[in-house]
A and B are shown apart, each in its own frame.
Chain A
Amino acid sequence: MTHWCVVTVSATVIAVSAALAQTPAREQLARGQLLWDQRLAKSATAALEAAAKDPATASEAHEALGRMYTFRGWQADNVYPGWHDEPSLREKALAELRAAVAADPTRASARDALRVAEGLAAAESVDPAPTRPEVRALDGKLQAASTVDEILGAVDARARAQADPAPYFTGAQMLIDRAAYAQAIAMAGRGAAASDRFIDENLSAYQLTGKWEGSFARGRATAADLVGWALFLQKEYARAGEKLEEAARLSQNQDPANQFHLGEWARTQNDARSARDHYLTALSLQGGPPPLRQRVLQALTSLMSNDPAAAGGFDAWLDAELSRRRDERRAGALTTMVNRALPKLTLTTIDGRPYDTSGLRGKVVLLNFFASW
């Protein structure tokens, strides 16, 4: 039996190496480089690691891996929403670049990349990487697009250069503004898929599960809201309501634009009370562009013009309602350690010595966990 097992294993190994041989290392290298240009880290890593195994492409592949880890280790902070530096990749960056130089000592670009990474390792602080000029140019082109065809073309070009979902969502909004609703809905759907893939390819950049889960939900919420709003403007109210409410669940009622859209939708359903609630929620949230706030305020003012609740003055009523909403959200944010004893935590001081927590005993303690990223 043992003998047979061994034979089976070697057969598998041969099959795997045959499969690898069918995809030449140079092809893997080019694929890996393109994937990382698009910021799809997981797939890029797999392709580049395969290419690094072939002596013919080892130096280039190690250099590409080293450059990717340099970016992710030192320069990733907020380059996309929720991204952070991954200090654990810094040693890997240096090791890959050294491997690149070792595999081909004449390779000047690898030596340059190593010098840069060593400089970052020694630096007191490192700025996040700027947007690549070609991506910025494609973003500009999308902003400047005016016809539907131009928008569709500009989104595709930008999405090919970099795989984050932003151009799809920008494009979908532009299509809505031009009453191209069917195309907007399709575009938002592509944005949701791009968002999911982009996050999945870069999970470790989000550091904490809550951050990547939040990013997944935000991408899907943005798409659902765009679809819902396009349906609303087409007067397809039943389906619009479903999508807008889906967006509200995904954003946990924290997206001001979506709350405005739900308010507008509720008015078409003759549900003044729900419309009022959504407008108030939109106003009680931070953020949202000023024109949106203005529109919400107008809608709410007209809705409340004959309402006895605001008879004592609209502004005073609005203040009271907004502060009540903040209180409710405060209560809603309270979660899981509540009513449990504070566990023993083995803390250290900033310079690594044991931290004595005995001074906290018998006091009301505000314990705040934070990260400087």
Chain B
Amino acid sequence: MPHLKASFAKYQTNPNVAFLLVSIDEDTKRLQRYLNEMKFPFPVARLDAATAQQAMRFDNTPSSFYVDRDGIVRYQLTGGEPHGDSPNRVPWFIDQLLEQPRSR
């Protein structure tokens, strides 16, 4: 999750980019403690785990979805990321979608 914070700094002032975290935690106390610790600079919402998994077709956390400006999911990454270059990945996906022409 720290890599999301690092990436957000780059887009903080960009009106065409939004970050939204969605917690599927059942334990609100623990979630609150985690948020206090992480101090995310972007909004955090909640959705129950079963609904979230069904709607977004994922079966593991964390799951990231990159949605383009037309509301279409263009990239999905599920599960832990053993790739070792997470901080560079996030801006790469976002920049791809910012450069993509809009259909409407």
Contact = CB atoms under 8 A, between A and B. Distances in A.
B65 to A, nearest CB: 4
Contact of B74 (A85, A88, A338): A338
Contacts of A338: 73-76
A364 B18 contact: yes
Given A87-B26, A208-B53, A334-B77, A326 B83 contact: yes
Nearest to A366: B19
Nearest to B26: A87
Given A368-B63, A369-B52, A372-B34, A342 B20 contact: no
A359 interface: yes
Contacts of B93: 366
Interface string A341-369: 11101111110100101011111111111
Interface residues of B, number: 68
A87 B31 CA distance: 12
B82 A286 contact: yes
Contact of B49 (A362, A371, A372): A371
Contacts of A340: 72-73
Nearest to A344: B55
B35 to A, nearest CB: 7
Q: Which DSSP category, helix, strand, loop or mixed, fits chain B's interface?
A: mixed
Given A338-B74, A339-B72, A364-B94, A207 B49 contact: yes
A369 B56 contact: yes
B61 interface: yes
Interface in A303-338: 323, 326, 329-330, 333-338
Contacts of B82: 254, 285-287
Given A207-B49, A342-B65, A360-B18, A336 B57 contact: yes
Interface in B43-73: 43-47, 49, 51-53, 55-69, 71-73
A348 B56 contact: no
Interface stretch (A51-59, A93-101, A209-217): A209-217
Interface string B73-89: 11111110111110001
B30 interface: yes
A108 B62 CA distance: 43
A211 B44 CA distance: 23
Given A87-B26, A333-B78, A333-B81, A362 B20 contact: no
Contacts of B26: 87-88
Contacts of B28: 350
Contacts of B47: 345-348, 369
Given A339-B74, A369-B22, A371-B24, A345 B60 contact: no
Given A343-B56, A372-B25, A329 B83 contact: yes
Nearest to B93: A366
A371 B90 CA distance: 19
Contacts of B1: 370
A210 B55 contact: no
A364 B84 contact: no
B64 A337 contact: no
B33 interface: yes
A340 B46 CA distance: 22
B76 to A, nearest CB: 5
B73 A339 contact: yes
B21 interface: yes
Interface of A: 85, 87-88, 124-125, 207-211, 213-214, 254, 284-287, 323, 326, 329-330, 333-343, 345-350, 352, 355, 357, 359-373
Given A368-B63, A369-B52, A369-B65, 4 more contacts: A338-B74, A360-B18, A364-B18, A370-B63
